[in-house]
Amino acid sequence: MKPAAFDYIAPKTVEEVISLLTTHEDEAKILAGGQSLMPIMNFRLGRPGLLIDINGLDELDYIKQQDDHLLIGGLTRERTVERSPLVRDLCPLLSQAISFVGHTAIRNRGTVGGSLVHADPSGEIPTAFCALDGRVKAVGPDGERWIDPGEFFLTFLTTSLEPTELLVEVKVPVLPQGTGWSFMELSRRVGDFAIIGVATLLFMNGDGTCREARIALGGVAPTPFRAEEAEEVLAGQAIGEELISRAGELAGEAADAEDDYHASAEYRQEMAKIMVSRSLRQALARTGKGN
């Protein structure tokens, strides 16, 4: 398991990175945490001609609040986000989701930007990002642009980022006080890829009814996705057990799971239903309005 030969360069600025990407396009890969890229290269499943090591770009490592959003630099380590009091206070869904990413050693190196660009269909950060309607900022030869939530994940391991672009920033909303949130995952062992990952948000009205519900599922489709029919059933309602079950069922139906060695498609489908219900219950309890 030794990689094929590759060239290596460690640029010092974002401009250099873009310039390299523009020259090499598909032949180059960005090296950030390397937690997904290194195994791919060591297995020789992928053989990029050039590795562009961005670990020196400290300016991309930050977490800050800007009004009602959190801005997280693309190179911020997962462990940094996991331990950040700012994130825990203002966007706890993200903190909890990240705690499920692999093991501590992996999170010490893995980056938020890298995880999003890698776009593993069962990835915890992509799934939470989906529920949060997060946006990403990409920088390319034509300047910078923001990519909207629904447009970022295209299919397995594929995003709408151009080969000449670098993801530099992630923007997620600050969750209003009283918002219910939950991230849950079913996996074979602690730290494994999720058989199903669920991220839920309940934005509440003053009278205790739910203004808006968000339910994102990972691991049961080519990308994480929002179970919109299930969300609609909850919107505007006082949420109780019956609605939670109904939402769970609809979410389960929306899942498009495959058989594999670890679990059957039927089991995954059923677990989508179960885990969505459990996650909604946990989110509801966190609003302080559940009974």
Partner 1 sequence: MPDPEARRWVGKRYKRKEDLRLLIGEGKFVDDIQLPKMKHAAIIRSPYPHALIKNIDTTQAEKLPGVRGILTGQDVKEMSKPFPCGVPIPPKYYSCAVDKVRYVGEPVAVVVADSRYIAEDALDLIQVDYEPLPVVMDIEEAAEPDAPVLHDNIGSNIYSHRLMQYGEPAKAFEEADLLVKGKFLFPKYGSTPIETYAVVASYNPVNQEFVIYNNYQGPFVNHSLVALALGIPENKMRWIVPTDIGGGFGTKTGVFPYIALIALASKKTGMTVKWIEDRREHLLASATGTDRVTYMEAAVKRDGTILALKDKAMDNTGGYIRAPEPGCAYRSTGNHTGAYQIRHLDREVMVVGTNKCLTSPNRGYTCQELYFSVERLVDMVAAQLGMDPAEIRFKNFIQPDQFPYTTATGGIYDAGNYQKAFQKALDIVDYPKWRQEQEKARQQGRYIGIGIATIVDPSVTNIAYVTTALTPEQRAKGHPKSGSGESMTIKMDPLGQVHVIACTNPQGQGHETVISQIVADELGIDPDGITVSNVVDTHDRVYTITTGSYSSRFASVGTNALVNATRKLKDKLFKIAAHLLEVSPDELVLENQKFHVKDQPEKSIAVRHVAGTAHWHQTALPEGMDVGLFASSLITMPTSKPPDELDRVDSSNTYGFCCEVIVVEIDPETCEIKFHKWASMHDSGTVLNPMILEGQVMGSITHGLGGALYEEFAYDENGQCLTASFQDYLCPTSMEVPDIDIGHVETPSPFTALGSKGAGEASCESVPVAVANAIADALAPLGVVINELPLTPSKIWHLIKEAKAKQA
Partner 2 sequence: MQLKGKYEFNGTQQQVWDLFTNPESLAQAMPGCQELRETGPGKYDALMKIGIAAVKGTYTGKFEIADPDPPNRYQLIGEGSGSPGFVKGTTDIQLTGSNDKTIVTYQGEVQVGGLIAGVGQRMISGIAKMMLNQFFKKMKKELKASGSAGS
**Interface residues toward partner 2, by CB under 8 A:** 29, 37, 40-41, 43-48, 118-119, 121-122, 155-158, 193, 222, 258-262
Phi, psi angle pair for 148, to nearest 5°: -75, 160
Residue 145 interacting partner from partner 2, partner 1, none (CB closer than 5 to 8 Å by kind): none
CB of 160 to partner 1, least distance (A): 27
Nearest to 97 by CA among 225, 185, 186, 215: 185
Per CB under 8 A, does 8 bind partner 1? Answer: no
| Residue of 271, 276, 280, 284 that binds partner 1 (CB under 8 A) | 271
Choice between 24 and 29, CB closer to partner 2: 29
Per CB under 8 A, does 261 bind partner 1? Answer: yes
Nearest to 165 by CA among 116, 224, 120: 116
Distance CA 272, CA 278 (A): 10
Per CB under 8 A, does 192 bind partner 1? Answer: yes
Distance CA 49, CA 29 (A): 8
| Residue of 23, 26, 44, 64 that binds partner 1 (CB under 8 A) | 44
Residue 45 interacting partner from partner 1, partner 2, none (CB closer than 5 to 8 Å by kind): partner 2
Rounded to 5°, the CA angle 189-123-177 comes to: 100
Residue 40 interacting partner from partner 2, partner 1, none (CB closer than 5 to 8 Å by kind): partner 2
* Residue 207 DSSP class: T
Rounded to 5°, the CA angle 272-190-196 comes to: 15
Per CB under 8 A, does 2 bind partner 1? Answer: yes
Residue 143 interacting partner from partner 1, partner 2, none (CB closer than 5 to 8 Å by kind): none
Residue 267 interacting partner from partner 2, partner 1, none (CB closer than 5 to 8 Å by kind): partner 1
Phi, psi angle pair for 9, to nearest 5°: -145, 145
Choice between 40 and 106, CB closer to partner 2: 40
Strands 50-53 and 28-31: parallel
Are 75 and 60 within 8 A, CB to CB? yes
Nearest to 111 by CA among 92, 127, 125: 125
Residues that bind partner 1 (CB under 8 A): 1-5, 43-44, 186, 188-193, 261-264, 266-267, 270-271, 274-275
